[in-house]
């Protein structure tokens, strides 16, 4: 039976001064992913190994790790794709380590929150208690749909060389989501997001390395979102931007009488 060598980063705060690598031998199975290997290690060899995982199918974004020197989702990485029998797994770079392969993703979520990643309506009352539906054409949806595929896995932030040198840089994930909401016809909060992205640690630190788009497992292409956001911000400063056509309100459904009279309830 073929075997794989898993070189896994281990680190227990309070006990270890710094992370170290531990090797495990894992039997190779057809169609096996890196996550399968980690699960095998935890279930059969060392149950103290810590890692995050949930859906096993590349949709939750939990299992992000630095696999053979590139940020990948462990569940989404078949071992055969790596082309080697030695699999090195570390926690995501650019994030503090909580334990073993578990990274502290709070910086990601804080930066994401700073971009107000939700529909901002002109009337908060209507936003919180909607009385009607907002319509969106296919073209309007397609203008942001790709960027809505983000699963907040953090792989783009790990790949980004600017995040590595400036931990305060907002980052491709938050900037990508800022564009996603700015271009949504139901949203009216673009100006506020522009101001937030225009800081000294904001969008202008991006040098178009493109590593974020290369690492993204969902095809979001945050590098494209950043460039489109930059264009929108420049047009806004130069007052060249066209006013966004807001999403029209759907007509309420027509009232209709029932064709057959409903008998009164006998049990009140």
- Contact of 94 with 164, CB cutoff 8 Å: yes
Cα–Cα distance between 42 and 245 in angstroms, integer?
A: 53
Please give the residues from 29 up to 48 whose contact with another protein meets the rule CB under 8 A: none
Residue 12 or residue 168: which is nearer to another protein going by CB? 168
- Contact of 99 with 12, CB cutoff 8 Å: yes
Work out how close the CB of 107 gets to another protein at its nearest, in angstroms, rounded to a whole number: 16
Residue 21 or residue 237: which is nearer to another protein going by CB? 237
Work out how close the CB of 234 gets to another protein at its nearest, in angstroms, rounded to a whole number: 6
Size, binding site for another protein by CB under 8 A: 14
The total of other beta-carbon atoms located within 10 Å of residue 127's CB is 14
CA gyration radius, the chain: 24
**Considering the rule CB under 8 A, would residue 250 count as an interface residue with another protein?**
no
Work out how close the CB of 220 gets to another protein at its nearest, in angstroms, rounded to a whole number: 24
Work out how close the CB of 148 gets to another protein at its nearest, in angstroms, rounded to a whole number: 25
The total of other beta-carbon atoms located within 10 Å of residue 235's CB is 12
| CA torsion angle 223 227 228 234 (round to 10) | 160
Please give the residues from 183 up to 242 whose contact with another protein meets the rule CB under 8 A: 194, 198-200, 202, 204-205, 233-234, 237-238
Work out how close the CB of 58 gets to another protein at its nearest, in angstroms, rounded to a whole number: 33
Residue 9 or residue 162: which is nearer to another protein going by CB? 162
Residue 33 or residue 94: which is nearer to another protein going by CB? 94
- Contact of 161 with 211, CB cutoff 8 Å: yes
Cα–Cα distance between 10 and 111 in angstroms, integer?
A: 27
**Considering the rule CB under 8 A, would residue 166 count as an interface residue with another protein?**
yes
Work out how close the CB of 154 gets to another protein at its nearest, in angstroms, rounded to a whole number: 21
HSE toward the beta carbon, residue 195, CA cutoff 13 A? 4
One residue of 165, 168, 246, 249 binding another protein per CB under 8 A:
165
Q: Which residues of 24-63 are buried (b: 16+ CB within 10 A; e: fewer)?
A: bebeeeeebbbbbbbbbbbeeeeeebbbbbeebebbbbbb
Residue 92 or residue 205: which is nearer to another protein going by CB? 205
Residue 237 or residue 249: which is nearer to another protein going by CB? 237
Work out how close the CB of 224 gets to another protein at its nearest, in angstroms, rounded to a whole number: 19
Residue 200 or residue 245: which is nearer to another protein going by CB? 200
The structure tokens 């202008």 sit at 204
By DSSP bridging, strand 64-67 and strand 70-73 are: antiparallel
Please give the residues from 70 up to 129 whose contact with another protein meets the rule CB under 8 A: none
The footprint of another protein (CB under 8 A) covers: 162, 165-166, 194, 198-200, 202, 204-205, 233-234, 237-238
């Amino acid at each position: 039976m073929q075997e794989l060598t898993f070189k896994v980063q281990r680190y227990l705060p309070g006990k270890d001064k710094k992370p170290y690598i531990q090797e495990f031998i894992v039997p190779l199975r057809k169609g096996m992913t890196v996550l399968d290997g980690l699960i095998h290690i935890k279930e059969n060899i060392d149950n103290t190994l810590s890692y995050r995982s949930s859906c096993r199918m590349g949709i939750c974004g939990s299992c992000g790790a630095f696999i053979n020197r590139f940020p990948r989702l462990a569940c989404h990485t078949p071992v055969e794709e790596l082309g080697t029998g030695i699999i090195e797994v570390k926690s995501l770079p650019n994030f503090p380590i909580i334990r073993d392969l578990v990274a502290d993703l709070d910086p990601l979520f804080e930066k994401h929150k700073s971009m107000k990643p939700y529909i901002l309506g002109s009337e908060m009352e209507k936003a919180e208690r909607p009385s009607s539906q907002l319509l969106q054409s296919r073209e309007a949806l397609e203008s942001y749909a790709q960027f809505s595929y983000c699963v907040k896995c953090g792989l783009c932030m790990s790949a980004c060389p600017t995040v590595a040198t400036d931990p305060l840089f907002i980052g491709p994930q938050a900037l990508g989501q800022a564009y996603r909401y700015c271009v949504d016809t139901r949203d009216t909060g673009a100006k506020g997001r522009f101001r937030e992205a225009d800081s000294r640690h904001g969008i202008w630190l991006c040098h178009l390395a493109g590593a974020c788009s290369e690492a993204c497992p969902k095809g979001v292409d945050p590098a494209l979102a950043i460039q489109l956001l930059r264009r929108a911000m420049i047009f806004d400063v130069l007052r060249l931007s066209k006013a966004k056509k807001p999403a029209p309100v759907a007509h309420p459904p027509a009232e209709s009488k029932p064709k057959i009279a409903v008998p009164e309830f006998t049990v009140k």
